Amino acid sequence: CALATMGTVTTLAFNASPLMRFDGYYIFSDLVKYPNLYTDGQLAAKQFVLKCLCPWKATQQRMTPTLVLYGLACYQYRIVMMASLVIGAILAMQGVGVALVAWGAYAVLIVPLIRWWRAQQSVATRLAQQAPAIPRASANPNCALDAIASGTNDHCEKGCNANSSLGTTTASPSQGMLSNYGGGMWSAAVVVGVCLLLLWVPAPIQPSIPGYIALRNPQMIRCESDGFLGEVFVQGGGAVERGQLIARLSNPELEVELLLKRNELATVEETIRLRRAQRQLAELQAYEGERDALLVHIAQLKRRVEGLDVRSTRAGVLVENDLPRMVGLFLKAGEPLAMVAHPLDYEVIASVDQQDVEQMRQAVGETLLAHIRGGRAFTGVLAKVEPRASDRLGEPLLAALYGGPIAAQRQQSARGDEELKLTQPRFDLRLRLLADQNAAGVPGQLVWIRIPGESATLMDGLGRWCSNKWNDLVKPSRTES
């Protein structure tokens, strides 16, 4: 199924796209009534690039914004498709894929470069052989003066014919030298400018770690006994006090069992009084042991019956309350019902990579900057960095499977539950938001925390992004193999 899907997507990407010379392009060119669209677009894109690199040279092909954009889009699409095929071949076939990519690079890149270099060498050789003849053909400086003086050009016809047959002038060598010199200076300036841009300009996205806003120190309210949810007394978002009744469960079997055990206890106590009056010590001790066991059992049943009343364990606000929709359902002991926390008391729980954990540990107690979507920023105090790494991701919001930034895979736990396993261990940390910053976000919102003491340039950011993407691609493939 995966191979069929990949083949279908690849076929559509090649054949249906108007940016490659397949069926999609010919249909598109017929619609716009431009049969040479691809060729003219490629030439316009080349002329645009050459104009940017050598602005003093005149263009030989007409350039319109539409043609230039189409040509650049074709180049970009081909690069993306080739890069996708290269990465897919390496990840799918490992060593064979590397050999296949190397052969393709040799056939597509190296062979044309060798041919171009040989052609340049042959052109240079021919020019070197013709160089001694050019000065002799154009070395008559008196032709122009004689022609002006006599009004005729008979005197210099032979020399000028030799010069005109070559299509050159005496000034062309110096102009070529100036053009080559200017081209070299411009190319060097462009290279230096690009290097300075990559090495000195800060990246727009600085090194950060992902996290999410969560309630600080929340307490989960769970069922203490099995039963059917019968009544709900507090709705979501309502304020509660410690010990306040939130909901009530019903379990008739448990209540009947408690009643039967109490009746049995009454019978045993009556028997004990009778045996004590009859001074039957052996039977008395046996019934006393049975009474003690019944008392323990009744105490346990009583706690279970009292556990049918769900009460708040602390003062705060009832959040994540789904109780109204659970009325009538059978709930098992230990099943979460709701959460109690203080309003507007938030923290950021983030996941940091191993290469950045030392910097974050050194910043414990410092104020860090965090960003959320939309460009809003707020500050918080780094409260804690977990001492041990974990290969499990507790919050699906951060997983790439659900649109997050961290690569993770689904996996079945020993208990049969689904969990998220990280491709590499990470450390959890907690950023406590300041009192005046709690209104900056809402629980569950994705946050990026700036790594302190680190400023990345464009080159650093590009290298870091490529490294992360490559690791995300390679490590899952190794795990599956």
Residue that is last in its domain, among 307, 340, 373? 340
**Cα 196 to Cα 183: distance, rounded to the nearest angstrom:** 20
Q: Identify whether 448 is part of a domain.
A: yes
Q: What is the mean pLDDT of residues 434-452?
A: 77
Counting residues of the chain whose pLDDT is more than 90, the rounded percentage is 3
What's the whole-number mean pLDDT along residues 347-352? Answer: 90
Q: How confident is the model at residue 429 (pLDDT cuts 50, 70, 90)?
A: very high
Q: Tell me if 155 is assigned to some domain.
A: no
Q: What share of the chain is helix, strand, coil (3-state, %, to 5)?
A: 55, 20, 25
**Of 44, 61, 93, the domain-final residue:** 93
Please tell me whether residues 352 and 476 are part of one structural domain.
Answer: yes
Whether residues 357 and 295 share a domain: the answer is no
Residue 165, pLDDT score: 38
Same domain, 300 and 400: no
Mean pLDDT, rounded, of the chain:
77
Grade residue 156 by pLDDT with cuts at 50, 70 and 90. very low
What's 288's domain CATH number? 2.40.50.100
Residue 351: inside a domain: yes
For residue 145, CA distances in Å to 148, 163, 169 come to: 5, 16, 16
| Listed ranges 26-40, 151-165, 457-471; the one with the highest mean pLDDT | 26-40
Interval 467-478 mean pLDDT: 58
Q: Is 147 within the bounds of a domain?
A: no
Residue 162 has pLDDT above 70, yes or no: no
- Model pLDDT for residues 122-142, shown as the tens digit of each residue: 888 888 877 665 454 444 444
- Looking at the fold, whether 450 and 367 belong to one and the same domain comes out as yes
Contact 178, 394 (CB under 8 A): no
154 versus 127: which is more confidently predicted? 127
Other CB atoms within 10 Å distance of the CB of residue 88: 14
463 assigned to some structural domain: no
pLDDT tops 50 at residue 206: yes
Inter-residue long-range contacts of 415-420, CB under 8 Å, 24+ positions, other chains counted? 419/392, 420/392, 420/393, 420/394, 420/396
Clarify whether residues 257 and 374 are in a common domain. Answer: no
* pLDDT confidence tier of residue 350, bands split at 50, 70 and 90: very high
Does pLDDT of 458 surpass 50?
yes
Q: Are residues 231 and 380 in the same domain?
A: no
Q: Are both 229 and 332 inside the same structural domain?
A: yes
Q: What is the pLDDT of residue 3?
A: 58
| 361 & 406 share domain | yes
| Spatial distance between the Cα atoms of 301 and 375, rounded to a whole number of angstroms | 56
Distance (Å, whole) CA 251 – CA 226: 7
Residues 350 and 318 occupy one common structural domain: no
Residue-range definition of the domain harbouring residue 366: 208-217+342-456+472-480
Lowest mean pLDDT, pick from 166-180, 298-312, 316-330, 439-453: 166-180
- In terms of domains, do 296 and 333 share one? yes
Q: Is this structure's pTM higher than 0.85?
A: no
Per-residue model confidence as pLDDT tens digits over 369-388: 888 876 678 888 898 999 89
Residue 158: the pLDDT is 41
Q: Contacts for 98-104 with beta carbons within 8 Å, 24 or more apart? A: none
Let me know whether 321 and 239 are in one domain: yes
Q: Are residues 57 and 10 in the same domain?
A: yes
The torsion of the CA quartet 226, 230, 235, 240, rounded to 10 degrees, works out to -60
Could you count the other beta carbons within 10 Å of the beta carbon of residue 280?
13
**Per the domain annotation, does 212 fall within a domain?**
yes
| Alpha-carbon gap, residue 269 to 276, rounded angstroms | 11
pLDDT at 427 (0 to 100):
92
Residue 194 located in a structural domain: no
Longest dimension (CA), the chain: 165
pLDDT in tens, 20-72: 888 888 898 899 888 888 888 888 888 888 777 777 666 666 678 888 899 89
What is the reported pLDDT for 280? 80
In DSSP notation, 402-444 reads: GT-SB-EEEEE-TTS-EEEEEEEEEEEEEEEEPGGGGGG--TT
Give domain status of residue 170, yes or no. Answer: no
| DSSP assignment of 220-241 | EEE-SS-EEEEEE-S-TT-EE-
Name the least confident of 95-109, 234-248, 302-316, 454-468: 454-468
Instruction: Output 231 or 150, whichever has higher pLDDT.
Output: 231
- Which of 278, 309, 340 is a domain's end point? 340
Cβ burial of 475 (10 Å; 0-12, 13-18, 19+) is middle
Phi, then psi, of 297 in degrees rounded to 5? -65, -40
User: Is pLDDT larger for residue 168 or for residue 404?
Assistant: 404
Contact 441, 447 (CB under 8 A): yes
- Segment among 39-43, 154-158, 263-267, 388-392 with least mean pLDDT: 154-158
Q: What is the mean pLDDT of the segment spanning 193-202?
A: 77
User: Count of domains in the chain?
Assistant: 3
